[in-house]
Amino acid sequence: MIKMKDVHKKYKNGVSALNGIDIHIEKGEFVYIVGPSGAGKSTFIKLIYREEKASKGSVVINDIDLGTLKEKEVPLLRRDVGVIFQDFRLLNKLTVYENIAYALEVIEESPKHIRTRVMEVLDLVGLKHKARFLPDELSGGEQQRVAIARAIVNNPIIVIADEPTGNLDPDTSWDIMQTFEEINTRGTTIIMATHSKELVNTIKKRVIAIEGGVIVRDEDRGEYGYEA
């Protein structure tokens, strides 16, 4: 599913973000990526959806070598990789329905399929009743649910979540985590970068800890391991 071998990433300003990453993530896993700020977590997940390219080594997603992927092929990769950001990144002038539908319109799905699929994912995240609302009419937790729905509407094989509960209150964070668990039980691989000690230590999953651009710990049902 996801294989990294001797992956290094050095930016043009001379900063080495990753220094020899070797990892294998199987289909259907739920993995937390943890570590202090500046450890290389964001670079790690950006490599998976080809926001960044490795300076050295190989990144293979579902048998596709991202190092040899042509720029015009990147959008095809991203149909299989849904990404959820801490700041939601919704289009404020579009309704909830339209924000999600847009992800299908750009790949020219039929209007009938779009209607059916958008309502399916809105049902999954518990927001069918808010389909016609604008983002600024929603709470932070509801906006994050819309972002999740948009990320999964294409039925991706991988969902990457970058600090998805970072801007949410504790109760809302637990609700969002339940949504991720439901998505995971349906077979989608979840990779979540997080600073939430409580979530990681309570909802036990595989934990990959990165420090100084290297993996220092990889544990099944691991602990957060840092001060919150």
Per-residue pLDDT tens over the stretch 51-86: 999 999 999 999 999 999 999 999 889 899 999 988
Closest residue by Cα to residue 17 from 66, 59, 67, 56: 56
Global pTM value: 0.93
Percent of the chain with pLDDT over 70: 100
Task: Give yes or no for residue 228 having a pLDDT over 90.
Answer: no
140 to each of 121, 164, 166, 173, how far by Cα in Å?
18, 11, 11, 10
The DSSP bridge partners found for residue 209 are: 34, 217
pLDDT tens-digit series, residues 180-219: 999 999 999 999 999 999 999 999 999 999 999 999 999 9
Query: Is residue 83 within a helix (H) or strand (E), and if so which, with residue range?
Result: strand 81-84
Domains and CATH numbers, the chain: 10-18+27-80+157-228 (3.40.50.300), 91-155 (no CATH)
Give tens-digit pLDDT for 131-171.
999 999 999 999 999 999 999 999 999 999 999 998 899 99
As a whole number, the mean pLDDT across the chain is 95
> What amino acid is encoded at 89 in this protein?
R
Burial code (b: 16+ CB inside 10 Å, e: under 16) for 93-110 equals eebbbbbbbebbeeeebe
The CA distance from 220 to 120, in Å, is 32
